[in-house]
Amino acid sequence: MNTSNFVHAAFAVVFQVAIGCISDNWLAGGMFAIGWFISREHASRQYHLAGWVIGPGGKSIKEMEPWEGMDMTKWGKDSTFDWLLATVAVSVVYVVARYGSQLFF
């Protein structure tokens, strides 16, 4: 784990709080934040597979299939922790926002 993992988690919570405060729907805010970071890691993996210009077998990024970047078994630890820590953070915020008064009193 490194600082980028915690920065991503912090931004995910900021997204969730912004959407949660505006719409009073903390779950939607959390799902938006998680979706944002999973799609970011997916795009990063696709660009990595494509070698940033031309990929294996001479395929460009435009010719790749969308699911080629979603093979999470080939993601690095940093990429995995980027979205995983964000998921844990927004889940904790959701539970506290939704059930906070029942949890602590």
Domain of residue 7: give its range. 3-104
Mean pLDDT of 57-86: 77
Question: Mean pLDDT of all residues in the chain?
Answer: 82
- How many domains are there within the chain? 1
- pLDDT higher than 60, residue 97: yes
> Is residue 28 within 8 Å of 37, Cβ to Cβ?
no
Q: How far apart are CA 40 and CA 82, in angstroms?
A: 10
pLDDT of residue 69: 73
pLDDT of residue 103: 65
pLDDT-derived band at 88, boundaries 50, 70, 90: very high
Assign residue 51 a region (left: φ > 0; alpha: ψ between -120 and 50; beta: otherwise).
left
Coil, strand or helix at 50: coil
Mean pLDDT of 68-88: 82
- pLDDT higher than 70, residue 54: no
Coil, strand or helix at 44: helix
7 or 57, greater pLDDT:
7
Among the residue ranges 18-27, 35-44, 89-98, the one predicted with the least confidence is 35-44
Q: How many CA atoms lie within 13 A of 42 on its CB side?
A: 13
